[in-house]
């Protein structure tokens, strides 16, 4: 049997989706705008990076061609080392769970619940229930906000009063920030579990624990102990199908949280893209025939996309690209490595939210063909391709392109 590895570059979109205007994102292009900024000197930062965006391994796989496909341009015909294409999302949101579930061949057919962009953002009944059931002195925030900004603004008051910071965004999410030691990490997790139950009737996709440390606004820093409390996917995903068969699914980073720990045999956490890459390499060593390693590289999104940091995003891409030969070297006959994204988060865009974009499909493996797989009309095509590669029967959603790349694998 074969093995498969899916690496998700969280938020690495490659051009606005056909319905981007409905999200206020028409013209967004995470990759394109980063590359353009770097070419014009806007990606330079002393001590970090300078010059044009340099991604030799991703470009060799076909990133440039994938971006052309995503933008409606004809892809070039240069020799590539991997297969390439682009995919657009049919799920109703541009959030992390929707993107990952659809990659795993289960699009989201329903509308998530959202909190209005006003103050207070949360329904009074919800705020009162959270305060009462968790025995809190009250809450802070209760608005749409960037996580780093609101912690800097309200963190000292949180330390004085013991009130946690609750906030949201354009995503279907309730985030709760609290100090790891003064408030307590386990207490924060317990609070999030309470909030998870209370927001279920509102169809909110995730409750996210956002622990931080530090004693002053200047020193506050979020830690790696984030935890997502998500609703489970609406039907069995690629991950569930593999586990049911008896295969192992190793989730790297926040994959376990995203799938509500359904269909994930083992979770391996790490802090930062490079540590996540190390964990992914270790999982590649440990994966057996028929297994899947599913990794999320979150820094692109949380540290650079949401913070609208073009040089930081560019440097993170270059660092990731530089590690890819290590993953290539671990591929053996019958393996498939596929790189993609779950949505966009254009660091040149207005606001701090995700952007509705098409995403890249890049992949390779011994014996696989270097083919143009074109524009896929659902991320679910990715999941069904991996399913076919791993010998699973076809699922309900998506169309596999495995026959186009199979070659002598």
Return the sign of the alpha-carbon dihedral for residues 88, 98, 14, 373.
negative
Cβ neighbours of residue 320 closer than 8 Å, sequence gap 6 or more:
9, 273, 277, 297, 300
Instruction: Find, among 29, 27, 38, 15, the residue nearest to 310 by Cα.
Output: 38
Q: Which residue has the tokens 């010059």?
A: 51
Q: What is the mean pLDDT of residues 338-350?
A: 98
pLDDT value, residue 285: 98
Q: What confidence tens digit (pLDDT) does each residue in 155-178 have?
A: 999 999 999 999 998 889 999 999
Cβ neighbours of residue 353 closer than 8 Å, sequence gap 6 or more:
169, 170, 171, 306, 345
Q: Tell me the average pLDDT of the chain.
A: 95
pLDDT value, residue 1: 62
For residue 272, pLDDT over 80 is answered with yes
pLDDT value, residue 170: 81
pLDDT value, residue 76: 65
Residue 79's pLDDT band, with cuts at 50, 70 and 90, is confident
- pTM for the model stands at 0.90
Q: What span, in angstroms and rounded, lies between the C-alpha atoms of 329 and 194?
A: 45
∠ Cα 299 43 350 (to 5°): 70
Residue 264's pLDDT band, with cuts at 50, 70 and 90, is very high
Q: Dihedral (C-alpha) 101, 103, 108, 111: value to the nearest 10 degrees?
A: 90
- Cis peptide leading into residue 120 (ω within 30°): yes
Residue 77's pLDDT band, with cuts at 50, 70 and 90, is low
For residue 146, pLDDT over 90 is answered with no
Packing angle between helix 30-39 and helix 63-70, nearest 10 degrees?
120
Q: What is the mean pLDDT of residues 106-119?
A: 93
pLDDT value, residue 171: 85
Give the burial string for 53-89 (b: 16+ CB within 10 Å, else e): bebebbbbbbbbbbbbbbeeeebeeeebebbbbbbbb
Helix (H, G, I), strand (E, B) or coil at 9: strand
Q: Is 266 left (phi over 0), alpha (psi -120 to 50) or beta?
A: beta
∠ Cα 270 274 276 (to 5°): 35
Helix (H, G, I), strand (E, B) or coil at 338: strand
Q: What span, in angstroms and rounded, lies between the C-alpha atoms of 207 and 226?
A: 11
Instruction: Find, among 397, 402, 364, the residue nearest to 378 by Cα.
Output: 397
Q: What confidence tens digit (pLDDT) does each residue in 4-59 have?
A: 999 999 999 999 999 999 999 999 999 999 999 999 999 999 999 999 999 999 99
pLDDT value, residue 407: 74
For residue 408, pLDDT over 80 is answered with no
Helix (H, G, I), strand (E, B) or coil at 83: strand
What does the DSSP 8-state code read for residue 305?
I
For residue 2, pLDDT over 60 is answered with yes
Q: What span, in angstroms and rounded, lies between the C-alpha atoms of 105 and 250?
A: 17
Instruction: Find, among 233, 304, 244, 232, the residue nearest to 272 by Cα.
Output: 304
């Amino acid at each position: 049997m074969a093995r498969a590895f899916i690496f998700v570059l969280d938020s690495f979109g490659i051009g606005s989706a056909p319905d981007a205007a409905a999200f206020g994102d028409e013209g967004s292009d995470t990759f394109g705008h980063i590359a353009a900024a770097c070419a014009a000197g806007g990606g330079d930062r002393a001590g970090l990076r300078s010059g044009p965006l340099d991604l030799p391994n991703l470009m060799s796989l076909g990133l440039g061609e994938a971006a052309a496909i995503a933008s409606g341009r004809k892809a070039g015909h240069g020799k590539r080392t991997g297969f390439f294409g682009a995919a657009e999302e049919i799920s109703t949101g541009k959030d992390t769970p929707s993107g990952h579930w659809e990659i795993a061949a289960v699009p989201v057919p329903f509308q998530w619940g959202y909190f209005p962009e006003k103050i207070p953002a949360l329904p009074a009944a919800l705020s009162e229930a959270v305060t009462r059931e968790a025995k809190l002195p009250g809450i802070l925030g209760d608005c749409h906000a960037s996580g780093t900004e609101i912690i800097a603004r309200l963190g000292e008051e949180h330390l004085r009063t013991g009130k946690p910071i609750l906030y949201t965004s354009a995503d279907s999410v309730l985030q709760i920030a609290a100090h790891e030691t003064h408030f307590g990490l386990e207490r924060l997790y317990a609070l999030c579990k309470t909030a998870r139950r209370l927001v279920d009737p509102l169809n909110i996709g995730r409750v996210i624990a956002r622990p931080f440390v530090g004693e002053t606004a200047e020193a506050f820093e979020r830690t790696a102990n984030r935890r997502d409390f998500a609703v489970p996917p609406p039907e069995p995903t690629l991950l569930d199908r593999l586990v049911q068969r008896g295969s192992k699914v190793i989730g790297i980073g926040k994959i376990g949280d995203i799938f509500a720990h359904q269909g994930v045999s083992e979770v391996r956490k790490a802090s930062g893209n490079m540590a996540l890459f190390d964990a992914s390499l270790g999982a590649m060593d440990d994966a057996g025939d028929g297994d899947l390693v599913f990794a999320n590289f979150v820094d692109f999104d949380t540290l650079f996309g949401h913070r609208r940091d073009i040089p930081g995003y560019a440097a993170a891409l270059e660092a990731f690209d530089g590690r890819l030969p290590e993953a290539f070297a671990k591929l053996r006959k019958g393996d498939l490595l596929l790189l993609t994204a779950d949505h966009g988060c254009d660091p040149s865009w207005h606001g701090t939210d995700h952007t509705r974009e098409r995403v890249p499909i890049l992949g390779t493996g011994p014996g696989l063909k270097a083919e143009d797989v074109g524009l896929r009309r659902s991320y679910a095509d990715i999941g069904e391709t991996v399913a076919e590669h791993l010998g699973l029967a076809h699922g309900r959603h998506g169309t596999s392109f495995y026959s186009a790349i199979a070659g002598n694998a």
